[in-house]
Amino acid sequence: MVIRQGKLEDIESLRKIDNLSLKAKHSTDYFLENLGNIMVTIDSGRVLGYIMCKGEEISNLVVHPDFRKKGIGNSLVKEVMKKSKRLILRTRETNRDAYIFFKKIGFTKKRKIQKYYSNGDNAIEMEFKKQ
């Protein structure tokens, strides 16, 4: 299993993983514009998950549903932690799995943002600071 920078050839897989996982899906153009901020996990030539991090902000972290709870999300976050003193992210208040995941990995809750998402869902903002 390797983690590497996202490439053009990954975009179709990234879209599929989004479709299987997220309420708000991203377009091909969105991935094209953001490829430079994406790291992917590859196993036997297959994309199993990705993280998108712009500056200090983790904007997406998605692991293919068939490959969750195997440490892939953890290793993607650790990869961006290596290069960052501080990271922030926002996740839906309803997404308890993500909240538990990020707490375990060292993030703490900063604040709640009311009606942050277009469907009216609240967001929880979380922060990681290197000691």
92 Cβ neighbours under 8 A, 6+ residues apart: 23, 98, 117, 121, 122, 123, 124
91 binds ligand COA (CB under 6 A): yes
Candidates 8-16, 61-69, 80-88, 110-118 — which segment interacts with ligand COA by CB under 6 A? 61-69
Q: How many CA atoms lie within 13 A of 112 on its CB side?
A: 6
User: Binding mask 41-60 vs ligand COA (x if CB under 6 A, - otherwise)?
Assistant: -------------------x
Among 4, 32, 71, 129, binds ligand COA (CB under 6 A): 71
Comparing every residue's Cβ against ligand COA, the nearest one is 73
Q: How far apart are CA 93 and CA 112, in angstroms?
A: 8
* Contact call for residue 129 and ligand COA (CB under 6 A): no
Considering only CA atoms, which of 6, 11, 51 is closest in space to residue 29?
11
CB atoms within 10 A of CB 28: 11
Where on the chain is the footprint of ligand COA (CB under 6 A)?
A: 21, 60-63, 68-74, 91, 95, 97-98, 100-101, 104
